[in-house]
């Protein structure tokens, strides 16, 4: 049995030292102006022992705003324990909600 946490913001440690982590984050949405950006710190469920190798994002609708679907998500910077998520407005929606939402998957060791 390898250490894991099978929850919304969880992780799986593999025997070769690789760690897969996942989660979801809500953030205050950038304004409806194209190119505006919001940045939010995301803390990993467990620290990577050496470094983050890759992170992937996807926006989703959670009922509190659809801005996660109207933004591009990027990893602005990272440490072994957290990353700075950037949400950049790609669609200048007048119906933009107050919040954006994103899923993320991070892999490292």
Residue 65: pLDDT band with limits 50, 70, 90:
low
Instruction: Produce one character per residue of 85-103: b if its CB has 16 or more CB atoms within 10 Å, e if not.
Output: bbbbbeeeeeebbebbbbb
pLDDT score, position 95: 61
Q: What is the mean pLDDT of residues 16-37?
A: 92
Is 74 a residue whose pLDDT tops 60? yes
| Global pTM exceeds 0.85 | yes
Q: Quick one: tokens of 6?
A: 């099978």
């Amino acid at each position: 049995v390898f250490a894991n946490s099978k929850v919304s913001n969880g992780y799986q440690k593999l025997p070769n030292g690789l760690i897969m982590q996942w989660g979801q984050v809500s953030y205050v949405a950038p304004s409806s102006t194209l190119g505006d950006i919001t940045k939010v710190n995301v803390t990993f469920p467990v620290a990577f022992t050496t470094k983050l190798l890759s992170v992937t994002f996807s926006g989703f609708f959670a009922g509190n705003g659809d801005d996660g679907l109207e933004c591009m998500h990027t990893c602005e910077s990272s440490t072994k324990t957290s990353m700075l998520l950037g949400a950049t407005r790609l669609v200048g929606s007048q119906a933009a909600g107050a919040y954006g939402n994103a899923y993320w998957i991070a892999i490292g060791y």
